[in-house]
Amino acid sequence: MAALEFTIEKRLKGALGRAGILKTPHGVVQTPAFVPVGTLATVKSLTPEEVRALGAQIILANTYHLFLQPGEETVAKGGGLTKFMNYGGPTMTDSGGFQVFSLGFARGHGVTKVLKKTEKRLPRDEQESEHSKLVSVDEEGVTFTSHIDGTTHRFTPERSIAIQEKIGADIIFAFDECTSPLISYEEMKASIERTHRWAKRSRDAHTRKDQALFGIVQGGRYPDLRKQSAQYIADLGFEGFGIGGSFDKDDMTSIVALVNETLPENKPRHMLGIGEIEDLFEGVERGVDLFDCALPTRHARNGMLFTAQGRYDMCRADNKEKFEPIEAGCGCYTCTNYTKAYVHHLFKANELLAYRLATIHNLYFIVHLVDRMRASIMDDTFFEFKKEFLSCYKKA
């Protein structure tokens, strides 16, 4: 079969949203769908079988991390990503661009892909830090220092594609320059122009016909640059598209709508690194088909669990004698078998089972929430579902 087949089953009336079917060599994904992050070929604390059992249809692993450990050659000798980790379903790998970015400016300033209201745009001379010395970007690629052992490595578009082809996921991404939301218009313009040149080089380097290559749209919070980037990336003939971050939180919905109005309708769109509940609704409404984010698993390890009323802190003292599920009616393994009191006890005792049970709940919650968004598109109740759910969720 082709590396990827995408069909639209139902369109959301009055908006860009849609429900689709994505066929890959390792299985079918019903979209929109949430993609759990399995950075090192593992979703932290869970077995691949558990990830599939909670409803996940596809997972994303990280090129940068798998390159450093155990190395792409080892994954290839193990039969490729799906077989190596015994997942059995569709997989994706990102290009490694964001991880390189996070080693430099972002790491030094705590900046994420989406600029929050509390983060301010800084003068360029204030943006340098000791962490920035870990990364050097030039026209050919990026030189970076391993966070594991301090060794120096180099990624170019060609090298990123070669690594991803060895890892062997069903969907891979072009190598891009993922920038900070804090940079100026002129800097962002220069950055997307480099991303476009790297996208073409990534496309030209791609040789595996059983892997779908997605191009990434950048441009920060600037509408004209986003539109320019979407048009250019669309014209390169990728099988699908990634939407990069680097925008203000308040600008996200309008930027995503602009990008998806510009991209071809008949190809899938993946939003990179988005996992807040409100953002998922807004992305689905505006035509996003896939989302990946480490937020649900990270929150779980910190005892912060998703519920229909908002995030719930399992470490609160009043959970000690609450002999009830984390969320009434939740069908996850954790809520079916354990109480708040027990999970609270595990966190207070620093038991590893706490991370497992919390991760199962959070991933089940978010995977099934996006599934419900899909179902609401199919039965023409999306806007009612969105309004009802968010009216309760925001109260917390």
User: Which DSSP string do the residues of 215-279 spell out, in sequence order?
Assistant: EEE--TT-HHHHHHHHHHHHHTT-SEEEE---EEGGGHHHHHHHHHHHS-TTS-EEEET---HHH
Q: Which of 56, 67, 60 is nearest to 39 (CA)?
A: 60
Would you say 380 is a known binding-site residue?
A: no
Is 160 marked as a binding-site residue? no
Radius of gyration of the chain (CA): 20
Distance CA 296, CA 359 (A): 7
Phi, psi of 207 (to 5 degrees): -120, -25
User: Of these residues, 279, 292, 313, 380, which one is catalytic?
Assistant: 292
- Count the helix, strand and coil residues of the chain and give each as a percent rounded to the nearest 5: 45, 20, 35
Question: What six digits make up the tokens of 249?
Answer: 């939180």
Residue whose structure tokens are 């891979």: 172
pLDDT at residue 126, rounded to an integer: 44
Which pLDDT belongs to residue 178? 85
Q: Rounded to whole angstroms, what are the CA distances from 244 to 72, 157, 259, 303?
A: 24, 16, 11, 28
Q: Tell me: is residue 218 an annotated ligand-binding position.
A: yes
Residues whose CB is less than 8 angstroms from the CB of residue 239 and which lie 6 or more positions away in sequence, other chains included:
3, 4, 212, 213, 214, 267, 268
Residue 261: how many CB atoms within 10 A of its CB? 13
List, run by run, the mean pLDDT of 10-residue segments along the chain (396 residues): 91 97 98 97 97 97 97 98 96 90 53 51 46 79 91 96 98 92 91 97 98 96 96 98 82 94 98 93 98 96 97 97 97 98 98 98 98 98 97 77
To the question of whether residue 315 is assigned a binding role by annotation, the answer is no
CATH 1.10.10.10 fits 5-293, yes or no: no
**Distance between CA 220 and CA 218 in Å, rounded?**
6
Q: How are beta strands 142-145 and 135-137 bridged, if at all?
A: antiparallel
Q: Is 287 annotated as a binding residue?
A: no
The sign one gets for the Cα dihedral 313, 343, 371, 289 is positive
Catalytic site includes residue 292: yes
Long-range contacts of 77-83 (CB under 8 A, 24+ apart): 79/168, 80/167, 80/168, 80/169, 81/41, 81/167, 81/168, 81/169, 82/26, 82/168, 82/169, 82/170
Beta carbons of 341 and 306 less than 8 angstroms apart: no
- Kindly report, as residue ranges, where domains of CATH 3.20.20.105 are found in the chain: 5-293
371 is catalytic: no
Residue of 94, 170, 251, 279 marked catalytic: 94
Q: How far is 299 from 355, CA to CA, in rounded Å? A: 10
332 is annotated as contributing to ligand binding: yes
Please tell me the distance from the alpha carbon of residue 83 to that of residue 131, in angstroms, as a whole number: 36
pTM: 0.92
